[in-house]
Copies of this chain bind each other. A is one copy, B any other.
């Protein structure tokens, strides 16, 4: 059975507002979208939920859990407040999962192992709250080029191993862009069976001109997406396949409708 296509709203770029983006997706038959807190906060979680319900669209993942500093540092309480806020917002918009990456803000911890311990302390408090409201939480390993500021987990194995240390069941998001190079991807997908809560797709552009916003449309890069899809499906994942393209230099310059139509076409032909 053909998997369902989800669109992460970042793909449509910053030129379109939340309501218009949701309506555009609905007009093209998209039933699932992924969103960031910046997008949701631009109109408020309650209003975002009304827009989504009005169009019959459900939310896959809500990004993302804040970074957690050391407990005795100034930013701890602010991070906790933010953590509770994203749990509430994710619930309000009915997100299937809240997404964490573990990222720091600004590379302040040179010792990534220690940064992961600090992150775990905050995450455990967030998980307690999430459990109370019945919200699943997922960890997304990021590409190692984000190790300085955005991520703390860089292979699927490292993410799954970390999840197993937590008191609550935490799922994983598999993103082709972040993990296509992962040396143990095949074995570790098998270990991740039952934990996979999302599969994100885009492509790796050659050359990549910016670390953050130069992802390619599926089919325009060097990731073997049909193979990754097969592996993810063999690992039991049956949810939507979500296009997530940050592309300041290309797709974000185009009309959102053109980008969306291309996503739908390439999903059918190149994924």
Contact = CB atoms under 8 A, between A and B. Distances in A.
A224 B107 CA distance: 11
A223 interface: yes
A154 B183 contact: yes
Given A111-B224, A148-B222, A208 B206 contact: no
A227 B112 CA distance: 12
Contacts of A206: 106-107, 148-149
Contacts of A221: 107, 148
Interface in A99-120: 106-107, 110-112
Nearest to A162: B183
A28 interface: no
A267 interface: no
A180 to B, nearest CB: 7
Contact of A181 (B144, B209, B211, B223): B144
A186 to B, nearest CB: 9
Given A145-B143, A204-B148, A206-B106, A227 B183 contact: no
A110 B222 contact: yes
A158 interface: yes
Interface in A148-199: 148-149, 154-155, 157-158, 180-181, 183
A120 to B, nearest CB: 15
A149 B224 CA distance: 14
B143 A144 contact: yes
8 contacts: A107-B221, A110-B222, A110-B223, A110-B227, A145-B145, A148-B204, A148-B221, A154-B183
